[in-house]
């Protein structure tokens, strides 16, 4: 829980260390915020909001309030100490102006401002200022309200007292510069909500609220349980092994280790590692220490309790992590992240800290909860048996020669090119469509793999069962990347994997089954941008010798209206009492029920010709949300799936399939 500290006056301008100037930011903004598109605009929000969260982590703030304004700006307020306004000795300017105009100037460098901070690089406030047409800083300190305004990073006057204040705090309002962010300068309410929800989970006891003045939407978060509440949230929709959640928070030397663990009945592992509230998706020393201790503690308990027999080999880490949901949060004074993106934590001492805490306290947890411990070990033993069965199945179906074509599936019609960059694999529903695709394709670059029936739902099946499914095995062989511990994305034989199914309910189900397989077992293929969905047309409109294809009812109607207008422009007399197809001079309007209805020429023209086809690239924008969606759609809980589909059936379109 956040316990708000009283400012003792020690947070002053002397703690602000200046490293270098601000000039490069507008010239090369991508170096500082990653991109100048949608992500870059929202990175600005993150930089300012993180300052408020850092105040809460340090114990000086208890709330962070964000307002998306109707005039295009966004205001971020925290009730922390307030940025100092006294004169900075090194710059000769006020500390507030220094923080907002000098790169690498902030309380996160000097050592006296923050013991723990997520803003390692400290570029936040000044970069946001440089990339905003206007920024307004309002500081409440010592009973006074101070204000200073900036334009494109340039002060529009000195900091001034504009009123009185009853509490300390900082409010930053800024307006992104449209000459920098040409794609958009609008803030996405859902993005802001999701980001701040995560921060609220990671900073227990902090109150966070978001209000959108454009739509009047608002929400607030307060999690007394912190990451324990987060684990509970991550397991929504999953059958848990036990309602009990392991939780520990302990200080080790100058760092804090916080861990929450709960098992569920799925076969997937979901671990969220954080360092100073920064997600480290590539892991690092904290997750290495966690995994090492978890494996050791569970094996020791299984031996001690005779759940693992003397002659049996130890459970592996993979066995033990099946169905694991965990959040690991470490807070340390000098985090060493790898790269500007902070994807991986490198501090070697953190591994020892996490191991020490887990070894001691997770052992206590298992001893004190023998029923839960027995279920966890039992689940791991089942996973071990399945692993051995899967290894045998894998050895039978995947051989080293897969990449050079020696063991490619017989149903695959391969392309002649051996260059993955120009090669495409069409995964086609049914033999009929597969036949048309084989006849109509460009055989140099396009390979065809027809699938018979619906693919196995891997959400409800372990690897051993999966490798006994002919369609899944054919797909693995064709792609050439292997599976499980032999998976290697560098062996991918095609750099476009195109799922081509009918534009109906069954086709959508098959697409979802295949996406589930890729997400659960080959996410690197999705992350590499290699997976696509083909979008076949729904209608053929023939006007004499001309053919038009429509991909939706609206597009069909739009084509009809365009053709009618063209005929009128040519002086054709039109009977306005006739239906639209006659007015447009349409001689054939055909609705396709499936790909199998198209001959080879039509399938090439509409869905396979790179000049005409429409492909939707599959991306994982939010892995956590994607995990929840696949759990709902493909898991065992029917009520959740029914509710999810009913609530979205009318509004969901193919463009929404960025998972």
List, for residues 69-87, the tens digit of each pLDDT value.
Answer: 999 999 999 999 999 999 8
Long-range interactions of 612-617: CB distance < 8 A, separation 24+: 613/534, 613/535, 614/534, 614/535, 614/551, 615/496, 615/498, 615/532, 615/533, 615/534, 615/535, 616/532, 616/533, 616/535, 616/654, 616/655, 616/657, 617/529, 617/531, 617/532
* For the chain, percent of residues with pLDDT exceeding 90: 54
The predicted model gives 618-646 an average pLDDT of 69
The predicted model gives 85-101 an average pLDDT of 87
Q: What is the pLDDT of residue 639?
A: 65
Whether 118 shows a pLDDT value over 80: the answer reads no
Q: What is the pLDDT of residue 653?
A: 45
d(CA 483, CA 461): 15
Given CATH 3.40.50.670, say whether it is the number of domain 405-536+616-657: yes
The predicted model gives 314-331 an average pLDDT of 95
Question: Which tens digits make up the pLDDT trace of 236-259?
Answer: 888 999 999 999 999 999 999 999
Burial 470-504 (b: 16+ CB within 10 A, else e): ebbbbbbbbbbbbbbeeeeeeebbbbbbbbbbbbe
Q: Which two tokens stand for residue 378?
A: 């039992």
Whether 524 shows a pLDDT value over 60: the answer reads yes
d(CA 366, CA 373): 5
287 and 261 Cβ atoms separated by less than 8 Å: no
CATH number (3.30.465.10, 3.30.460.10, 3.30.230.10, 3.90.380.10) of 227-393 reads 3.30.230.10
* Nearest alpha carbon to residue 625 among 243, 190, 261: 190
Local confidence band at 116 (pLDDT 50, 70, 90 cut-offs): low
Q: Which two tokens stand for residue 334?
A: 């000098």
* Nearest alpha carbon to residue 370 among 311, 314, 271, 304: 304
d(CA 203, CA 161): 32
Local confidence band at 323 (pLDDT 50, 70, 90 cut-offs): very high
Question: Which tens digits make up the pLDDT trace of 31-71?
Answer: 888 889 999 999 999 999 999 998 998 889 999 999 999 99
- Range of weakest confidence among 108-122, 214-228, 333-347, 608-622: 108-122
* For the chain, percent of residues with pLDDT exceeding 70: 87
The predicted model gives 337-349 an average pLDDT of 81
Q: What is the CATH number of domain 13-221?
A: 3.30.565.10
156 and 133 Cβ atoms separated by less than 8 Å: no
Task: Quote the distance between the C-alpha of residue 195 and its chain's center.
Answer: 11
d(CA 320, CA 380): 5
**Within this chain, domains 13-221 and 405-536+616-657 share the same CATH topology:** no
Q: Model's pTM, two decimal places?
A: 0.73
d(CA 659, CA 657): 5
The residues that are catalytic are: 429, 502, 504, 506
Q: What is the DSSP letter of 94?
A: B
Domain ranges of the chain: 13-221, 227-393, 405-536+616-657
Whole-angstrom CA distances from 426 to 101, 437, 482, 551, 611 are 53, 8, 18, 19, 16
């Amino acid at each position: 829980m956040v316990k708000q500290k009283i400012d003792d006056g020690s947070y002053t301008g002397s703690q602000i260390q200046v490293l270098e100037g601000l000039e490069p930011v507008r010239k090369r903004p991508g170096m500082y915020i990653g991109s100048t598109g949608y992500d870059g605009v929202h990175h600005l929000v993150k930089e300012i909001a993180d300052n408020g969260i850092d105040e809460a982590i340090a114990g000086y703030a208890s709330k962070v309030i964000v307002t998306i304004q109707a005039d295009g700006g966004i205001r971020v307020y925290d009730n922390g100490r307030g940025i100092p306004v006294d004169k900075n000795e090194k710059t000769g300017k006020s500390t507030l102006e220094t923080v907002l105009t000098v790169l690498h100037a902030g309380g996160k460098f000097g050592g006296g401002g923050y013991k723990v901070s997520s803003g390692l690089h400290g570029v936040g406030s000044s970069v946001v200022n440089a990339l905003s047409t206007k920024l307004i800083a309002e500081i409440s300190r010592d009973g006074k309200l101070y204000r200073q305004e900036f334009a494109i990073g340039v002060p529009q006057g000195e900091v001034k007292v504009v009123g009185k204040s009853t509490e300390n705090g900082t409010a930053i309002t800024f307006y992104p510069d449209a000459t920098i962010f040409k794609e958009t300068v609008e803030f996405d309410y859902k993005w802001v909500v999701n980001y701040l929800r995560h921060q609220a989970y990671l900073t227990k006891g902090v109150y966070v609220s978001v209000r959108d003045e454009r739509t009047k939407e608002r929400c607030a978060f307060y999690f007394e349980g912190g990451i324990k509440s987060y684990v509970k949230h991550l397991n929504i929709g999953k059958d848990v092994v036990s309602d009990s959640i392991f939780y520990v928070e302990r200080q080790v030397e100058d760092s804090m280790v916080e861990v929450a663990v709960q098992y569920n009945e799925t076969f997937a592992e979901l671990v969220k590692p954080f360092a100073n509230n920064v997600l480290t998706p590539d892991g690092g020393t904290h997750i290495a220490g966690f995994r090492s201790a978890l494996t050791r503690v569970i094996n020791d308990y299984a031996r001690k309790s005779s759940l693992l027999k003397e002659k049996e080999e130890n459970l592996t880490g993979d066995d033990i992590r099946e169905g694991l949901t965990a959040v690991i949060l470490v807070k340390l004074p000098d985090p060493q992240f790898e790269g500007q993106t902070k994807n991986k934590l490198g501090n070697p001492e953190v591994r020892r800290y996490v191991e020490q805490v887990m070894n001691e306290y997770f052992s206590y947890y298992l001893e004190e909860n023998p029923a839960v411990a027995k279920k966890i070990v039992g689940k791991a033993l089942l996973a071990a048996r399945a692993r051995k069965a899967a290894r045998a199945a894998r050895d039978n179906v995947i051989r080293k020669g897969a990449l050079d074509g020696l063991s490619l599936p017989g149903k695959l019609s391969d392309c002649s090119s051996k260059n993955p960059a120009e090669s495409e694999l069409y995964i086609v529903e049914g033999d009929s469509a597969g036949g048309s695709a084989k006849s109509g394709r460009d055989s140099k670059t396009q390979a065809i793999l027809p699938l018979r029936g619906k693919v196995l739902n891997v959400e409800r099946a372990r690897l051993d069962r999966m490798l006994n499914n002919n369609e899944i095995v054919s797909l693995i062989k064709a792609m050439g990347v292997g599976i499980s511990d032999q998976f290697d994305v560098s062996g991918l034989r095609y750099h476009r994997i195109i799922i081509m199914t009918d534009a109906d309910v069954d086709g959508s189900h098959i697409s979802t089954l295949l996406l589930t397989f890729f997400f659960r077992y080959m996410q690197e293929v999705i992350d590499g941008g290699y997976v696509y969905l083909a979008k076949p047309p729904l209608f053929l409109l023939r006007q004499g010798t001309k053919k038009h294809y429509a991909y939706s009812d609206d597009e069909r109607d739009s084509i009809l209206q365009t053709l009618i207008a063209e005929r009128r422009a040519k002086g054709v007399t039109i009977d306005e009492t006739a239906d639209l197809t006659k007015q447009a001079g349409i001689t054939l309007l055909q609705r396709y029920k499936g790909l199998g209805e198209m001959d080879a020429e039509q399938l090439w023209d509409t869905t396979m010709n790179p000049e005409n086809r429409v492909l939707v690239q599959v991306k994982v924008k939010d892995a956590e949300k994607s995990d929840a969606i696949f759990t709902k759609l493909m898991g065992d809980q029917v009520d959740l799936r029914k509710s999810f589909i009913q609530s979205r059936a009318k509004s969901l379109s193919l463009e929404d399939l960025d998972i």
